Amino acid sequence: MSPYSIPALTARGQSLFPGLLLALTVAAAAKFLSEHYGAPVMLFALLIGMAFNFLASDPRCKPGIDFASKTLLRTGIVLLGARITFGDIASIGVPGLLTVIGLIALTIGSGFVCARLFNRGWRFALLTGGSVAICGASAALAIAAVIPHNDKTERNLLFTVISVTTLSTIAMITYPVLFSLAGLSDAQSGFLIGATIHDVAQVVGAGYSISTEAGDLATIVKLLRVTMLPVVLIVIVLIMAGATEGGGGKVRLPLFVIGFAAVTAANSLGFIPVAVAASAVSLSSWLLVIAISGLGVKTNMKAMLELGWRHVAVIVVETLLLLAMAFAALQTGLVMG
List, as one string, the DSSP characters of 12-58. HHHHHHHHHHHHHHHHHHHHHHHHHH---HHHHHHHHHHTTGGGTT-
- Given a contact cutoff of 8 angstroms between Cβ atoms, the answer to whether 263 and 279 are in contact is no
Q: What is the predicted pLDDT for the residue at 52?
A: 92
- Given a contact cutoff of 8 angstroms between Cβ atoms, the answer to whether 200 and 226 are in contact is yes
Phi, psi (rounded to 5 degrees) for 58: -65, 125
Q: What is the predicted pLDDT for the residue at 295?
A: 78
**Alpha helices by DSSP H, 91-211:** 93-117, 122-133, 137-146, 153-181, 186-196, 200-210
Phi, psi (rounded to 5 degrees) for 138: -60, -40
Q: What is the CA radius of gyration of the chain?
A: 20
* b/e 225-256 (16+ beta carbons within 10 angstroms → b): bbbbbbebbbebbeeebeeeeeeeeeeebbeb
Among 74, 14, 25, smallest CA distance to 52 is for 25
CA distance 218 to 195: 7
CA distance 192 to 36: 28
Helix-helix angle 309-331:153-181, to 10 degrees: 40
**pLDDT tens by residue, the chain, 337 residues:** 455 456 655 777 888 999 999 999 999 999 999 888 877 787 788 789 888 988 988 899 999 998 988 888 788 878 877 877 777 667 677 888 889 899 999 999 999 999 999 988 898 999 999 999 998 888 888 898 888 888 788 888 888 888 888 888 788 888 998 999 999 999 899 999 999 998 877 787 788 888 888 887 887 888 788 878 888 988 888 888 766 555 444 545 667 778 877 888 898 888 999 999 999 989 988 998 898 888 788 876 666 666 678 888 999 999 999 999 999 998 887 776 5
Q: What is the predicted pLDDT for the residue at 128?
A: 94
CA distance 267 to 273: 8
Q: Tell the burial category of 172 from Cβ atoms under 10 Å away from its Cβ (0-12, 13-18, 19+).
A: buried
CA distance 24 to 290: 6
